[in-house]
Structure 1
Amino acid sequence: MIKAVIKQFIPEYHNTKDRNVRERYCVLAGALGILCNLVLFAVKLTIGRLMNSISILSDAFNNLSDMGSSVISILGAKMSNRRPDREHPFGHGRMEYIASFLVACIIFIVGFELLRSSIDKILHPEPVRFSVVLVVILSLSLLVKLWMFSYNRYMGKQIDSTVLRAAASDSLNDVAATAAVIVATVVGNFVAFPIDGIMGVLVSVLIMRSGFQIAKEVADRLLGQRPDPALVKELSDRILSYDGIIGIHDMIVHNYGPGRNFASVHAEVSDDCDIIKIHEIIDAAEQAIFRETGVAMVIHMDPVSLNSPETQELKKLVAQIISEIDPSLTIHDFRITKGQSRINVIFDLVVPIEATPARRKEITSQIAERLRAADPRYTAVIQVDTSFVS
């Protein structure tokens, strides 16, 4: 059903990398959430008044407050799709993460309030009164919330949206809470202990846990995560497909919100190539990558010596040394300079990001010692790097 709704209301729905399409997904999900909660509110309010039931009326206004997540989804989508301005040259894409964090806070607060009321019910138990009408209404609400969870999760996956995944978790929490009330209402008539309070505590813990997980995911994205390996491979393959580029290193990918990636990389080219020609090739690569992937790429040229047998032999020696020390190590920007009594062996060494300063110093010392053992004239000049993409 949700696929039919998406096709009806979102033109070019399959082009999920387009910012306007992403916005329409979030707005549609938010609008459906508002509509569903309004319908539940109206039905429960009407029946609650007819039956003069406080519990049903309370649940009705709970649905009214549930619209907050949907409103935040819409506002977050609208704000994140605003054009860049002077104060925010990279755009407003991270507003979606902030919106997701607000939803996570709402979820956590709801869970905490449920925990508090559940503990109160355990300490001051009250008899659970069974009502067929209440069970039917809660079952209807549960089915609607299940559908809301389903479409939010589906659309969240389609556009990789943290705010829609947060909305899905919010709906799933409502399902768990409603199911707990139904179970407590039915079973409470047959047991003496306060099952409604116990069920409430269990559900509240799950709700707070989901709120914490959403907040953690959002915080990770705001702090900066390692880029998707598939994206790194795609960018690498595209760059290396151009004539004249023989290698790449020092790739960095920055994310400023969904679909807003900026990247830089050093491209290795022969030191005797036509600089004008290779500059045109790199310009073409940058433009094609942006056009085809949406990633704003800056490529820096790094000349490397390919025609010096001595340099190539020394590079092989260093590569062998570092592979014996740690196979995960790599080198780039390799070159040599000769003096009267020594040969400077200069290169950048890429070490694992988790390597401690002491370990890095130990590795460089071992490399320098082995180079001197091979030839006393060799002096290692090592710049230690860290990979930001692997």
Structure 2
Amino acid sequence: MNEQNSTTLAQKGAWISIAAYMVLSAVKLIAGYYGQSQGLWADGLNNTTDIIASVAVLIGLKISNKPPDHNHRYGHTRAQTISSLVAAFIMMSVGLQVIYQSFMSYFNNETEKPELLTAVVALIAAAFMFMIYRYNLTLSRKTKNASLLAVAQDNRSDALVSIGAFVGIVGTYIGIDWLDIAAAFSVGFIICKTAWEIFSEASHTLTDGFDEQLLQDIKKTIDNTDGVQMTTDVKARMHGNDILLEATILVDKDLNVVESHDITDHVEERLSTIHQIQHAILHIEPFDMGKKD
């Protein structure tokens, strides 16, 4: 799948999430307010901020689709990672606010029995959002898009949040009056946890962190290429969805320039086929047994 089609599909997933959040946030806020459910109200507030986060992802996708220019020689694909970071900050701020409001309601003894309809709304919303999560998760794997994966993770947390709201509401009907407030607190905790996971992954990528196991697999691919005697240095970093790779490979010292170049072409073909790496800088050095250790 080319980058243009990948971005288009990712944008489609983000738009679907925005549409779902707009509907769900309106229904939950109205039902939570008039049905006196703090858990469902917090869930609706969470969906409202999800709209903002999804818009941030869309903006990141649009920017990342811009071609390279004079001061962005590698393109703009890291805008996707930055948009994930923005989404994480928004989610964290809302999660902390929901937790604070839950504590205040508990200590002020603001417990009321929600309407039963709010439980039905929460359950339907959970099922609906889980379907959106599965769709965006499949799409993120297909497009290998980090921003869309962040959206999918948020979709999953929203489905769990709605289940928590449902449990909290039902709990009040079996005599546990504070369970709806506990559900609201759980909403805040899940939001913060998801935000932290997205933040950790995005910041790891922005600081040029890279999966160590994947790096070892890439090294094995290079080492197993015909003509490569050994690989002394392999470095990689993520640039949006793309892997930027640098490696030093040792070849027979008696080969001429053309023969050495043919080996690098073969390495690049294998990297593209096996690991979908399109950007590799390969440095050739003559093989010396003294360097093997």
In the superposition, the TM-score normalised over structure 1's length comes to: 0.64
> Greater relative contact order (Cα 8 A, min sep 6): structure 1 or 2?
2
For the Cα contact (< 8 Å) 2:99–2:189, is it kept in 1? yes
Give the SS at the match of 1:20: helix
Change (3 A) 1:55 1:284: same
Q: 2:286 aligns with which of 303, 312, 315?
A: 303
Give the SS at the match of 1:272: coil
CA apart distance, 1:265: 2.2
Q: How does 1:236-247 map to 2 (within 5 A)?
A: 236-237=220-221, 240-243=224-227, 245-247=228-230
CA apart distance, 1:219: 0.9
Matched, 1:211 2:195: yes
Matched, 1:70 2:70: no
The residue aligned with 1:220 is 204
Which amino acid in the other structure matches residue 247 of structure 1?
M
Which shows bigger deviation, 121-130 or 289-298?
289-298
For structure 1, the 5+ residue unaligned runs are 1-14, 306-311, 316-330, 333-348, 350-390
Higher strand proportion: 1
Give the SS at the match of 2:90: helix
Q: 2:104 aligns with which of 120, 128, 135?
A: 120
Change (3 A) 1:233 1:209: closer
For structure 2, the 5+ residue unaligned runs are none
The structure with the larger Rg is 1
Q: 1:270 aligns with which of 221, 229, 252?
A: 252
- CA RMSD in angstroms comes to 3.2
For the Cα contact (< 8 Å) 2:225–2:266, is it kept in 1? no
Which amino acid in the other structure matches residue 135 of structure 1?
A
For the Cα contact (< 8 Å) 1:235–1:289, is it kept in 2? no
Q: Distance in 2 between matches of 1:78 and 1:67?
A: 16
Matched, 1:194 2:175: no
The residue aligned with 1:156 is 140
In the superposition, the TM-score normalised over structure 2's length comes to: 0.82
Matched, 1:53 2:56: no
For the Cα contact (< 8 Å) 1:118–1:198, is it kept in 2? yes
- The Cα offsets for residues 311-350 of structure 1, whole Å up to 9 and x where unpaired, read as x6xx4xxxxxxxxxxxxxxx44xxxxxxxxxxxxxxxx6x
The residue aligned with 1:254 is 237
For the Cα contact (< 8 Å) 2:251–2:286, is it kept in 1? yes
For the Cα contact (< 8 Å) 2:222–2:231, is it kept in 1? no
**How many aligned residue pairs are there?**
288
CA apart distance, 1:105: 1.3
Q: Distance in 2 between matches of 1:178 and 1:83?
A: 40
Change (3 A) 1:55 1:166: farther
> Matched residues, percent identical?
20
Matched, 1:80 2:80: no
Give the SS at the match of 1:262: strand
Give the SS at the match of 2:285: strand
Q: Distance in 2 between matches of 1:113 and 1:175?
A: 20
For the Cα contact (< 8 Å) 1:286–1:298, is it kept in 2? no
The residue aligned with 1:175 is 159
For the Cα contact (< 8 Å) 2:221–2:271, is it kept in 1? no
- The Cα offsets for residues 288-333 of structure 1, whole Å up to 9 and x where unpaired, read as 457644432222221235xxxxxx6xx4xxxxxxxxxxxxxxx44x
